[in-house]
Chain A
Amino acid sequence: MKVLMFGWEFPPFSKGGLGTACHGLVKGLSGKGVNILLVLPSYDGDSQLSNVNIIAADKLKNIEVRKVKSLLAPYMTPGEYLTRYQTGDSKSKGIYGRNLFEEVDRFAAAAEEIAKSEQYDVIHAHDWLTYEAGIAAKKVSHKPLIVHVHATEFDRSGDNPNPHVYAVEKRGMEEADAIIAVSEYTKGKIVKNYGIPAEKITVVHNAIDQRPNVSYAPSKLRETDKIVLFLGRITLQKGPDYFLYAANIVSKRIPNVKFILAGTGDMEPFIIEKAVELGLADKVLFTGFLTGPDIDKAYQMADLYVMPSVSEPFGIVALEAMANGTPTLICKQSGVSEVIRNCLKADFWDVHDIAAKMISVLEHPALKETMQEEGSREVSKFSWNESSRKCEEIYARLLAARA
């Protein structure tokens, strides 16, 4: 079995859950003896990362990596693409597409060249930026195509989808022989918003790597304050505004709480201004984008991790928080809420409920401790092996249907 996979660089080169999911699945499939030709958009502008363990995909057995120079990055919006394009050096302007969609097509053309010269059994493309590449590969090889939906345009932009992105997503889903959704929640969105029949979609939940638990020295801040953590992109989708409004309610009742936002994003200026306006300037702290051990440190210093996303196709971060022994409050509008139970759940818009639950965790040590114990025990059962086994089943099913 050989898979032509259009994926993403592994963390830390890829931000967010997409890189983590690609890493987990590729490693799991590699362990099962599945051969993968992994084609990655590669951009070296961001790679000045220190203090992190770089996972080299080509060090895994059965895995061959082909990098295609590209400015594409996970979850990229047309605006973000332009920023990257314009800040690059002058010679890059001659190589890369002038906008996101041109770049998607350019990547697809490169993918087609690879697809022509290689032998493989199935094609597996991760998220919309690579769907065109998957379709191009299918055209030249006539091999079955699987598109793996890690998010949809409706998750990223609410009720205002970019019509061009939507069109690419829909075409990928229609051209695909099978669709993998990261949750039942996402599957429902694909059926409802893209008109895809439910039987074409298989749910493969994301997972988390079991790794040795490194404990960090407690933060100084903990001596005087309790800490509630938001960790993720500071964008509309992640609900940082709901986090802030809940923080406002909580800080009126409990004076010594700090609310930390770890991440960057286009809503950061708004959140800062709003925090000042609400009189929370000294309560709300920003850490910027965190990598590697700093992420674990952030989880471990927190009394509670909150994921108030407006729409979260899966939400691997919740599993990471629980693995670090951090009590976790997640939105009901998430895929991860389908697979974990030892956490608190609230509707993202119900700021009072979010605040009430924050208060409860901060005020009742017994609640916090039980959530820590049961939560870390629960996520210790997750494994990417299970997710990759389901992918392998889908490959086998598609091949059997052709035979």
Chain B
Amino acid sequence: MRGDLREAARGKGIMVSICFYFQVHQPFRLRKYSVFDVGHNHHYFDEQRNEKEMRKIANKCYVPANAIILDLLKKHPEFRAAYSISGTAIEQMRLYAPEALESFRKLALTGKVEFLNETYYHSLSSIYSKTEFKTQVEKHRQMIEDEFGQTPKVFRNTELIFNNEIANTVMNMGHTAILAEGVDRILQWRSPNFIYTAATAPKLKLLLKNYRLSDDIAFRFSERSWADWPMTAPKFADWVSAANGNGHVINLFMDYETFGEHQWESTGIFDFLRALPAELLKHPHNDFVTPSEAALRFPPAGELDIHQLISWADVERDLSAWLGNKMQKSAIEQLYALEKQVLESEDERIIDDWRKLQTSDHFYYMCTKWFADGDVHKYFNPYESPYEGFIWYMNVINDIKIRLNELKIKVIA
């Protein structure tokens, strides 16, 4: 009977659909590659550390959270979820945590979980090289097909980086929808709880993150100084349902590490996740959608004209976490300046190393934005300081330059 109510509510437009998307990503962290290593060895990545991090996150988050999601999918036929998993994360799962990859495959087999398309290397190529961007998106699409047996139609860019130009590129690549941050300065009086299009991409549906509700889970869940602590599934379900009649879709977008890593198991985050779908479904006007279903179901409520680059990072929701200081800009410019030479080398190892260096985390580690206040950036930084992050990175870039020159010499000789 509840299903009938839902159908009726949908007809009247007072229903709200909930769209979960979880980001799964791990970078290939660099080791402390010294200036004295340059030209002597090409061993850039900290395998031990990468293995340790992947094992930890698989145990604390991917495996237990996937078990809960699988359970929820069995228990509630209406439940849906979407994931975007970077190519670098998949590669590390293959190497260090095959059971985690297997648990994602099980989710895919339910047919109710959508896998999104992104740049394979979780890169900033959308800003620096359109050809490299398309190559990485295609490589990622291929990988999703191989791993999960579905062809992704919806695109999510690294850190939800978005503007008109990216929308146009993605539309022309044949995607049906794209995810972005529901930034206040872009939306102004509008609600993130509708589908939009970008001025430059009329055929591409735009799904905007409801950052208040998303961050209630991702950031504030265990925050004891928060007025609404402790947050419970019934309380959250009420907040979501308050949008009934005033929106089509609530986009709850967050890092998957929210479950078990950013919010530890002891905070009750897994119990919350386990209880939430049933609470949401208690309201007869709620249901769940994947991003593809949302794009198909809802007409655009308007057109947004977004010239400046936006993202889901920090309070600024811009690119300053990756490209805010001179080190970051210099490092990324030198990286992309090598593009032509690297690709022409046709040396697969050099190409692979160069692409792993494109992962946005490397630039994030060089961030000095709130560094003096000892904020969240420090937590994620594997190096002693952003300055060291820059130093190791540039040493690697210089070594790649040497390898490229050696190749050239070989060709001439």
Which residues of A are in contact with B by a Cβ distance under 8 Å? 253, 341-345, 352-353, 356-357, 359-360, 364-367, 369-371, 373-374, 377-378, 381
Closest to A345 in B: B384
A364 to B35, CA, bound (A): 12
Q: Given A342-B372, A357-B391, verify A370-B327 contact (CB < 8 Å).
A: yes
Q: B401 CB to closest chain A CB, in angstroms? A: 13
The residues of A that contact B34 with a CB separation of less than 8 Å are: 352-353, 356
Say which residue of A367, A374, A377 sits within 8 Å of B391 (CB atoms). Answer: A367
Q: Given A342-B371, A367-B391, verify A360-B326 contact (CB < 8 Å).
A: no
Contact A367 B390 (CB under 8 A): yes
Quick one: which of B372-405 are within 8 Å of A by CB? 372, 374, 384-385, 387-388, 390-391, 394-395
Number of B interface residues at 8 Å Cβ cutoff, please give it: 21
Closest to B324 in A: A370
Contact B371 A369 (CB under 8 A): no
Is B325 positioned at the interface, with any CB of A under 8 Å from its CB? Answer: yes
Is B189 positioned at the interface, with any CB of A under 8 Å from its CB? Answer: no
Q: Given A342-B368, A345-B384, verify A369-B326 contact (CB < 8 Å).
A: yes
The residues of B that contact A377 with a CB separation of less than 8 Å are: 372
Contact A356 B35 (CB under 8 A): yes
Q: Given A366-B329, A374-B325, verify A344-B35 contact (CB < 8 Å).
A: no
The residues of A that contact B18 with a CB separation of less than 8 Å are: none
The residues of A that contact B330 with a CB separation of less than 8 Å are: 364-366
* Listed residue (A344, A356, A365, A377) with the most chain B CB atoms within 10 angstroms of its CB: A356
Is B154 positioned at the interface, with any CB of A under 8 Å from its CB? Answer: no
A344 to B327, CA, bound (A): 14
The residues of B that contact A360 with a CB separation of less than 8 Å are: 35, 390-391, 394-395
Q: B167 CB to closest chain A CB, in angstroms? A: 31
Contact A366 B326 (CB under 8 A): yes
Q: B368 CB to closest chain A CB, in angstroms? A: 5
B contact face: mostly helix, strand, loop, or mixed: helix
29 contacts between A and B (CB under 8 A): A341-B372, A342-B372, A342-B385, A342-B387, A344-B385, A344-B387, A352-B36, A353-B34, A356-B34, A356-B391, A360-B35, A360-B390, A364-B391, A365-B330, A366-B326, A366-B327, A366-B331, A367-B327, A367-B387, A367-B390, A367-B394, A369-B326, A370-B327, A370-B387, A370-B390, A373-B325, A373-B326, A374-B325, A374-B368
Closest to A379 in B: B372
Q: A364 CB to closest chain B CB, in angstroms? A: 6
Closest to B391 in A: A360
Q: Given A359-B35, A367-B390, verify A374-B371 contact (CB < 8 Å).
A: yes
A6 to B394, CA, bound (A): 51
* Listed residue (B374, B384, B391) with the most chain A CB atoms within 10 angstroms of its CB: B391
Interface string of B32-47 (1 = CB under 8 A from A): 0011100000000000
Contact B394 A364 (CB under 8 A): yes
Closest to A358 in B: B35
Extra 9 A-B pairs, beta carbons < 8 Å, given A356-B34, A367-B387: A253-B35, A341-B374, A352-B36, A356-B36, A357-B391, A367-B390, A367-B391, A370-B326, A373-B325
Q: A354 CB to closest chain B CB, in angstroms? A: 12
A366 to B395, CA, bound (A): 14
Ranked nearest first, the 8 interchain pairs of A and B with the lowest CB-CB distance are A366-B330, A366-B326, A360-B391, A356-B35, A370-B327, A374-B368, A366-B327, A370-B325
Which residues of B are in contact with A by a Cβ distance under 8 Å? 34-36, 325-327, 329-331, 368, 371-372, 374, 384-385, 387-388, 390-391, 394-395
The residues of B that contact A364 with a CB separation of less than 8 Å are: 327, 330, 390-391, 394
The residues of A that contact B371 with a CB separation of less than 8 Å are: 341-342, 374
Contact A341 B327 (CB under 8 A): no
A374 to B367, CA, bound (A): 11
A372 to B395, CA, bound (A): 21
A203 to B16, CA, bound (A): 57
Closest to B387 in A: A344
The residues of B that contact A341 with a CB separation of less than 8 Å are: 371-372, 374, 385
A364 to B393, CA, bound (A): 12
Closest to A360 in B: B391
The residues of A that contact B384 with a CB separation of less than 8 Å are: 345
* Listed residue (B331, B372, B374, B384) with the most chain A CB atoms within 10 angstroms of its CB: B372
The residues of B that contact A367 with a CB separation of less than 8 Å are: 327, 387, 390-391, 394
Q: A342 CB to closest chain B CB, in angstroms? A: 7
The residues of B that contact A371 with a CB separation of less than 8 Å are: 387
A370 to B325, CA, bound (A): 7
A297 to B196, CA, bound (A): 59
Q: B256 CB to closest chain A CB, in angstroms? A: 30
Contact A345 B326 (CB under 8 A): no
A253 to B36, CA, bound (A): 10
A111 to B331, CA, bound (A): 60
A364 to B390, CA, bound (A): 10
Q: B379 CB to closest chain A CB, in angstroms? A: 14
A356 to B35, CA, bound (A): 6
A341 to B394, CA, bound (A): 20
A187 to B34, CA, bound (A): 33
Q: A387 CB to closest chain B CB, in angstroms? A: 18
A365 to B387, CA, bound (A): 12
A174 to B387, CA, bound (A): 42
A364 to B331, CA, bound (A): 10
The residues of A that contact B325 with a CB separation of less than 8 Å are: 370, 373-374
The residues of A that contact B36 with a CB separation of less than 8 Å are: 352, 356
Closest to A377 in B: B372
Contact B388 A344 (CB under 8 A): yes
The residues of A that contact B390 with a CB separation of less than 8 Å are: 360, 364, 366-367, 370
The residues of A that contact B327 with a CB separation of less than 8 Å are: 364, 366-367, 370
Q: A218 CB to closest chain B CB, in angstroms? A: 20
A371 to B329, CA, bound (A): 14
Closest to B334 in A: A366
The residues of B that contact A365 with a CB separation of less than 8 Å are: 330
A392 to B329, CA, bound (A): 46
A345 to B384, CA, bound (A): 9
A367 to B334, CA, bound (A): 14
Q: B375 CB to closest chain A CB, in angstroms? A: 11
* Listed residue (A353, A365, A367, A381) with the most chain B CB atoms within 10 angstroms of its CB: A367
The residues of A that contact B326 with a CB separation of less than 8 Å are: 366, 369-370, 373
A359 to B398, CA, bound (A): 13
A343 to B222, CA, bound (A): 33
A327 to B192, CA, bound (A): 45
Closest to A249 in B: B36
Q: B334 CB to closest chain A CB, in angstroms? A: 9
A371 to B384, CA, bound (A): 15
Closest to B37 in A: A356
Q: A257 CB to closest chain B CB, in angstroms? A: 14
Q: B83 CB to closest chain A CB, in angstroms? A: 36
Closest to B384 in A: A345
Q: A304 CB to closest chain B CB, in angstroms? A: 12
A366 to B35, CA, bound (A): 16
A364 to B391, CA, bound (A): 9
The residues of B that contact A359 with a CB separation of less than 8 Å are: 35
The residues of B that contact A381 with a CB separation of less than 8 Å are: 372
